[in-house]
């Protein structure tokens, strides 16, 4: 009887595991389709039914996951707490070279635009007209600036900033180049490649922030 009980328990566990895997796959499909539709059609033009049809689920399933508002919050979290952000912050904290710090900032900014730029655009265009998007943008911006502040503080600690520039002003300058506008302007409006935009912003930030080396 013990053997039979154990077998029954094992089968129950496998069924529970399969249900969990299916539920996660369903959740992932709904999030992915919401992201695609929000980007292609816009947040307001996308209906819950559209997401349900695209993900091949019922509208009720979309509502269980959070509906449009909940999905937008999930997408904001995907972007603003992406795993590469924490890794980059560690790099910034440990770096001993000002030029390297700026290179890391430029690199992660480009990577985030390439990986999550569609989400950023949706939130930025929706926020002026929707409280949920505005709340999400505020949270994401706070996280974004807090991460950028690590670079500014490290530059100040290394004493490589131009005379008269402290950590607070360095953060403002970094935000000017590596906040939302820089890459979107150069890539979307000007048609530059991401590589060209990254290099230009990096060079401009170096000139604006770092003390010139002797002989330059």
pLDDT at residue 3 is higher than 70: no
Going by C-beta distance under 8 Å and a sequence separation of 6 or more, which residues neighbour residue 202?
102, 103, 106
pLDDT value, residue 11: 74
- Where do the structural domains in the chain lie, given as residue ranges? 2-65, 77-209
pTM reported for the whole predicted model: 0.85
pLDDT at residue 168 greater than cutoff 90: yes
Q: What is the pLDDT of residues 112-153, one digit of tens each?
A: 999 999 999 999 999 999 999 999 999 999 999 999 999 999
Q: How many helices (H) and strands (E) does the chain have?
A: 10, 0
**In DSSP terms, which residues pair with 16 in a beta bridge?**
none
CA 44 to chain centre: 21
**Which residue is listed with tokens 């505020």?**
138
DSSP three-state, residue 77: helix
The rounded distance, in Å, linking the Cα atoms of 59 and 50 is 9
Looking at residue 216, its pLDDT comes to 47
Give residue-wise pLDDT tens across range 92-101: 999 999 999 9
What CATH number does domain 2-65 carry, 3.40.50.720, 3.30.1330.40, 1.20.1600.10, 1.10.10.60? 1.10.10.60
The two most distant CA atoms of the chain are separated, in Å, by: 86
Residue 18: the pLDDT is: 78
How far is Cα 200 from Cα 183, in angstroms, rounded to an integer? 10
The CA distances from residue 55 to 32, 34, 63, 190, in Å, are 8, 9, 13, 35
19 band by pLDDT with thresholds 50, 70 and 90: confident
Residues in the chain: 216
The answer, yes or no, to whether residue 2 has pLDDT greater than 60, is no
The answer to whether 65 touches 31, Cβ cutoff 8 Å, is: yes
Output the average pLDDT for the chain.
Answer: 92
């Amino acid at each position: 009887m013990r053997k039979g009980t154990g077998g029954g328990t094992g089968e129950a566990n496998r069924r529970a595991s399969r249900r969990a895997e299916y539920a996660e796959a369903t959740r992932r499909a709904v999030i992915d389709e919401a992201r695609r539709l929000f980007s292609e059609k816009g947040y307001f033009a996308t209906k819950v039914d559209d997401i349900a049809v695209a993900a091949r689920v019922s509208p009720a399933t979309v509502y269980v996951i959070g509906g449009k508002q909940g999905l937008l919050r999930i997408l904001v979290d995907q972007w603003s707490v992406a795993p590469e952000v924490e890794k980059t912050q560690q790099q910034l904290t440990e770096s001993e070279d000002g030029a390297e710090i700026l290179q890391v900032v430029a690199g992660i900014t480009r990577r985030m635009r390439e990986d999550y730029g569609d989400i950023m655009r949706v939130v930025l265009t929706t926020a002026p007209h929707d409280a949920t998007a505005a709340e999400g943008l505020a949270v994401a911006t706070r996280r974004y600036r807090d991460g950028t502040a690590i670079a500014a503080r490290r530059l100040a600690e290394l004493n490589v900033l131009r005379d008269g520039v402290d950590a607070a002003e360095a953060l403002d300058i970094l935000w000017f180049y590596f906040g939302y506008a820089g890459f979107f302007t150069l890539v979307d409006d000007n048609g530059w490649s991401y590589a060209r935009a990254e290099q230009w912003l990096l060079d401009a930030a170096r000139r604006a922030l770092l003390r010139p080396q002797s002989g330059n």
